[in-house]
Homo-oligomer: A and B are copies of this chain.
Amino acid sequence: MFGPFVNDTEDPKKFAVWEPKVKVYREALAAGIKDEYKLPQELIPKDFDVGVDVTGIPAKVLTESELAITESSGCDLVVKIAAGELSAVEVFKAFAKRATIAHQLTNCAMQIFVDEGLMRAKELDAYYAKTGKTVGPLHGLPVSLKEHYNYKGKITHSGYVGYIDNVTENWSVAVEVLKEAGAVFYIRTTEPQSLMHLCSYNNITGACRNPWNTSLTPGGSSSGEGALAAMKGSVFGLGSDIGGSIRCPAAFCGVWGLRPTQKRLSMHNVTSCCGSKVQESVACVLGPLARSAEDLDLFMKASIVSEPWKKDACIIPLPWRTESVPSPKELTIAVCYDDGVVKPTAPIIRALKHAVSKLEASGVKVVEWKPIAVQKLVETCSAMYNADGNSSQKLALAASGEPLAPLTHVALSFGCGDDGVSVEKNQELNGIRDQGRQDYLSAMDAQGIDYILCPTYVSVAAKPDVIKYWGYTNLWNILDYPSVIFPTGLKVNPDLDVVDKSYKPRNEYEAYEHFLYTDPKDFINAPINLQLTGRRYFEEKLIKASQVIGEIIAQK
């Protein structure tokens, strides 16, 4: 199930030298909380570990206008700003305030720099006042960024203490594209050590909390983006996903997320342990976390209309294609209740059944999906992550000698762990991957379906630092089929989502993972999201399909 792994990078003496730098970094983060945005003490829960829902707190401190702005979609806001009904500064201030509140409740930020954002919003307003035009399709939208995207002139550490001195001299191409489209930046969000947890802990800023139930994880590795989106602290944000890192936090935090097909958006100038090395067997992909299908579309269209292939030679010049929202009767989708490796828990099964019943009632044709070679593909994917025998990860960890988080232990044990594989074996794994891509294409054609509805994870938001099985998400990473995560409107209800204690696990993965959901009461209020997967490179159609499917399922 897991490969060998020796914890040989921890070095307490060395780490002692680095701890003061961590302290300075944290102080800078704390200093980013402007006095006027500080929450009154009585609004901050005394004990987050008991599981508090903090999503209602912003409404207690925002003005009516701030509330209205931050509850709006990106699509609405750009129209209003472009029409002169709202200024970029007004919009910015509302989101800056709400994001700062979100951070105080969830620890979702790694850097907050409201003054810089304000300056940018003022520039945009000045440009608009002077020309009557917007600078681009995202003019005045406050956008959040996962920390590991290079930000010119700021530290980019990618969750490694050893990179805490790394002030990046360039912009990530994807960030630059958003900036040129008119986005306003003010917050960079948290991610776990090594970026390889579906969870959030790192040694720099600690753990992030799930806003719906603060005893649970927001998921990861785009942890802060998930929490911030649920708190409505940005219009949308940039995540990244090599095993579920956009989709897991989107699902756990009850928001929308898209993992596009590789090579549509640029990952140029992103800091990771790989440095200039390129692991391409399973590619890390950039994508948005947002609050609606329409905003996923807005993000993608704005990113691709800029023709990123002119800036990054790895990007495919596939324009953003305009698609209309399909009518339910045009859709045939397959539903996957169980991947054959780890059976989903009660709330997920309930949501799937609920979804099918709603979809069928709306005229969508639903067929059952038979999982294909899931365990083989998921294990192949795991072996690809560590094909280099953890050499890159260990170098990054050893730089500071920082302690390993529990889930870093797990991640470094994936696949063949420290043993890695030979190039010949890696080429075999690539062959399994490509055959999988082909088999899934054939199966979709055979069933006449364009979309597969499935869980995002075995269960809802988990307790911190326990998730080991990534199969419901990283299956689509190895296959490189794009997926949208969307809320069903359902939440965990202990009366309905009871545990079948007599269930006999079929394998070791299931014996561990299925039973992480033991006492439903621990998961109260956790959102139940689902995943819709489409064909490679057809994000446009996938988003439109997810929009109608999401609407049908979430109907009261």
Contact = CB atoms under 8 A, between A and B. Distances in A.
B280 A430 contact: yes
B314 A427 contact: no
Given A420-B423, A423-B422, A424-B389, A312 B438 contact: yes
A530 B2 CA distance: 53
Given A313-B437, A389-B423, A438-B312, A431 B277 contact: yes
Given A276-B431, A280-B430, A426-B426, A537 B309 contact: yes
Nearest to A442: B313
A28 interface: no
Contact of A423 (B268, B426, B428): B426
A427 B274 contact: yes
A279 B427 contact: yes
A469 to B, nearest CB: 24
A327 interface: no
Nearest to A387: B423
A1 interface: no
Contacts of A317: 318, 536-538
A478 to B, nearest CB: 12
Contacts of A280: 280-281, 430
A437 B537 contact: no
Contacts of A424: 277, 388-389, 391-392, 420
A484 B471 CA distance: 44
Interface in A419-446: 420-424, 426-428, 430-435, 437-438, 440-441, 445
Interface string A99-129: 0000000000000000000000000000000
- The CB with the most chain B CB atoms within 10 A, among A421, A422, A430, is that of A422
Given A277-B428, A278-B434, A422 B388 contact: yes
A316 interface: yes
Contacts of A431: 274-278
Contacts of A438: 268, 312-314
Contacts of A316: 316, 318, 537
Contacts of A435: 276
Nearest to A424: B388
B388 A313 contact: no
A211 B351 CA distance: 69
A422 B279 CA distance: 12
A66 B213 CA distance: 81
Contacts of A433: 278
Given A388-B424, A389-B424, A421-B423, A313 B440 contact: yes
A44 to B, nearest CB: 45
Nearest to A420: B423
A442 to B, nearest CB: 9
A536 B537 CA distance: 17
A387 B424 CA distance: 8
A536 to B, nearest CB: 6
Interface string A508-543: 000000000000000000000000000011100000
A127 B338 CA distance: 49
A445 B309 CA distance: 12
A445 to B, nearest CB: 8
A153 to B, nearest CB: 21
A308 to B, nearest CB: 12
Given A316-B537, A389-B424, 10 more contacts: A276-B431, A276-B435, A277-B427, A279-B427, A313-B441, A316-B316, A316-B318, A317-B318, A391-B424, A422-B423
11 contacts: A277-B427, A279-B430, A280-B280, A313-B440, A316-B537, A317-B318, A317-B538, A388-B423, A420-B424, A422-B423, A426-B426
Interface of A: 268, 274-281, 309-310, 312-314, 316-318, 387-389, 391-392, 420-424, 426-428, 430-435, 437-438, 440-441, 445, 536-538
What 8 pairs across the A-B complex have the smallest Cβ distances? A278-B430, A313-B437, A277-B427, A276-B431, A388-B424, A313-B441, A387-B423, A388-B423
